[in-house]
Chain A
Amino acid sequence: MDAISGLALGFGHALSLANLGWALLGCFLGTAIGVLPGIGPALTIALLLPITYSVSATGAFILFCGIFYGAMYGGSTTSILLNTPGESGSIITALEGAKMARNGRAGPALATSAIGSFVAGTVGTLGIAFLGPIVVDLALELGPAEYFSLMVLCFVTVSAVLGGSAVRGLTSLAFGLLLGLVGIDLQTGQPRLTFGIPELLDGVNVVLVAVALFAVGETLYLAWRHIEGTQEVREVGSIMMSRSDLKRSFWPWMRGAALGFPFGVMPAGGTEMPTMLSYYAERKLASPEAQAEFGTTGAIEGVAGPEAANNAAAAGVLVPMLTLGLPTSATAAIMLSAFQSYGIQPGPLLFTSQAELVWTLIASLFIANVMLVVLNLPLVGLWARILKIPQPQLYAGILVFATIGTYGISNSVVDLVLLYGIGIVAMFMRRFDFPVAPVVIGMILGPMAEQAMRQALTISQGDWTTFVTRPVSLVILLVALAALAGPRLYGAWMRRVAG
């Protein structure tokens, strides 16, 4: 199905009252959790996974995607008003946004980030609609060997390319793979890594791990490094942008969107890199008067560009997730496990076997963007008030809901021990700068990669060279190798040139 007829079908379903309701609820929840420091979209969607037992797949995914998009909008509000990024993509926004807020220009900063998010979200969603079917056509040619290689590439980029260190990223990934191995091996029926504990035969629950990493670990770390005192929330003021604000924001929005989307689509995933690149680009391209505002009074270009890049990249992440079944961020990985709990096989066949679901979802993303810009501009005062919830009660509440989310799955104290145990590991991971996203991705993608590898080797009758003799598979593996070794070789070469 091509994009136009797909969208026509999708809007037909998305505009139903129930689906509009799910989108609105998702946008509202997403903005709220994006605003609140300490909770992100991955944790929220993980805690809401039990609704997959009672809500239709379409409704649940509209809700999840609304949360995903909404968190990107809400994150910028926290960055600007509190100078504390709500999620990783808005770290850069805090640079200029918080400075604008300190100089009484919080309103225009919030407005340019909301409108920029809308522009980029719309561009990104158009990208999903038109690029998706093309990627699907290509993906249908891929066999298990190519799939396995793609997953290897995904593992390498999410753990070794992003973040501070390849060794620490890969260690996180290996920890995730280990967690994914726990339970009965589906092909041979043998129990693996269960320590003889019967509760572990079904494997470690994804919700449990996500909650442990994102809620328990984070809260423990914050308590460990707690300093008495409260943070100051800046006043919003008027959100009207002047004509010059608009003129200065327009091209940064466009460039940010154009920069962010490809980064999201590529398995290099993540929103940190495109937001950073956009920031440096805008800083270079700004007029001399505006350049003087960078780092001093706060330049609007430095908010508009990175915010657009952030949202476009977030939209881009949905392309490999929907077309290939490959998650390149923790949130996408949790959504993938939601597909699995509906018994839907994510991958290229999704666009044909679940055409209605996919296109309704894409149409809902357009609707969610409109809802979000409305929710975030006139209602920004409401979100600013959420920021005033005192920290002690906020984190106490987060932990209570984290416990419910885990205990509700199985009513087993073994699960609570695992939750707190992995939470303590996550606290130390934060302390020693090990990224947590690769754990989630390794845990969810690991079993899929093992299955693809076994299928490929069954087809080739145990011949391992199948991964390098099939040309597409070989190319993908070479790219993965380059991604792993490239930065190190480049560094060594630079040192040699410099020395």
Chain B
Amino acid sequence: MTKRARPDPADLGAALFVLALGGLAVWQTIAIPRSPIYAQVGPTLVPWLVAAALLVLGALLTASALRGGWSADVTEVAEAPPPNPRSLGLLLAGLLANLVLIVPLGFTVAATAQFVLTAAAFGSRAWLRNLGIAFVVSLGAYVLFVKALGVNIGAGLIEGLFFGVPD
């Protein structure tokens, strides 16, 4: 262990996030209505304990971050490849596309968009081929889940075209 006096800003961010989570827990615990039913242990005790634990742990992490942080001491973190914002951006775009498209256009369109963007995030340039694979995989998954397992995963444009509009 080497001693470093300089704070690690990234670790400090993580520590502050834990503190904020603790604050969120306190806020929501205060918001719990008073129970009209008598209970030896009310509904707020455990939330208070968890909130307190998060605040204490967050404080410990903040102290550690101010004293140089922990990331530099973890080999897995220290030896990790450098960040790749382009890949991460494409993947997040894929998640967002799915979120926005699934209700208006249905599962197959949303999943196809997500598949193509995810494959691109991991460096695949074969857009057209991925589009084909994505369409087959998504529609196949839709058939498997909705028709075989009876789990509804959101019908829309394409599903209506193939199987008729659901009731």
Least Cβ distance of B54 to chain A in Å? Answer: 5
Q: Is A339 an interface residue, CB under 8 A from the partner?
A: no
Q: For the complex, what is the distance from the CA of A396 to the CA of B119, rounded to whole Å?
A: 5
Binds B, one of A79-87, A188-196, A269-277: A188-196
Contacts A393-B119, A420-B95 known; A178 to B84 CB distance under 8 Å? no
Q: Is A239 an interface residue, CB under 8 A from the partner?
A: no
Q: For the complex, what is the distance from the CA of A400 to the CA of B116, rounded to whole Å?
A: 10
Contacting pair B50 A181 (CB below 8 A): yes
Q: For the complex, what is the distance from the CA of A229 to the CA of B10, rounded to whole Å?
A: 28
Contacting pair B40 A462 (CB below 8 A): yes
B100's closest neighbor in chain A, by CB?
A413
Given contacts A224-B87, A454-B40, 20 further A-B contacts (CB under 8 A): A54-B150, A171-B54, A177-B53, A185-B35, A188-B37, A188-B42, A189-B35, A191-B33, A223-B87, A392-B121, A393-B133, A396-B134, A403-B111, A407-B102, A408-B153, A416-B98, A432-B10, A446-B46, A450-B46, A457-B41
The A-contacting residues of B in range 35-67, CB under 8 angstroms, are 35, 37, 39-43, 46-47, 50, 53-54, 57-58, 60-61, 64
Binds B, one of A28-36, A161-169, A289-297, A352-360: A161-169
Contacting pair B145 A408 (CB below 8 A): yes
Contacting pair A390 B57 (CB below 8 A): no
Show the binding face of B for A, using Cβ within 8 Å: 10-11, 14, 17-18, 21, 25, 28-29, 32-33, 35, 37, 39-43, 46-47, 50, 53-54, 57-58, 60-61, 64, 70-71, 74, 76-77, 80-84, 87-88, 90-92, 94-95, 98-99, 102-103, 107, 110-111, 114-116, 118-124, 130, 133-134, 137-138, 141, 145, 149-154
User: Which of B37, B88, B98, B122 is close to A391, meaning CB atoms less than 8 Å apart?
Assistant: B122
Note all chain A residues with C-beta closer than 8 A to B145: 404, 408
Least Cβ distance of B122 to chain A in Å? Answer: 4
Q: For the complex, what is the distance from the CA of A400 to the CA of B115, rounded to whole Å?
A: 7
Contacting pair B98 A403 (CB below 8 A): yes
Contacting pair A225 B141 (CB below 8 A): no
Contacting pair A220 B91 (CB below 8 A): yes
Q: Is A187 an interface residue, CB under 8 A from the partner?
A: yes
Q: For the complex, what is the distance from the CA of A416 to the CA of B117, rounded to whole Å?
A: 17
Q: Is A417 an interface residue, CB under 8 A from the partner?
A: yes
Note all chain B residues with C-beta closer than 8 A to A450: 46
A228's closest neighbor in chain B, by CB?
B123
A176's closest neighbor in chain B, by CB?
B50
Note all chain A residues with C-beta closer than 8 A to B74: 164, 433
Contacts A396-B134, A413-B99, A454-B39 known; A226 to B84 CB distance under 8 Å? yes
Contacting pair A193 B25 (CB below 8 A): yes
Q: Which of A226, A227, A401, A434 has the most CB of B within 10 A?
A: A226
User: Which of A192, A416, A434 is close to B102, meaning CB atoms less than 8 Å apart?
Assistant: A416
A449's closest neighbor in chain B, by CB?
B46
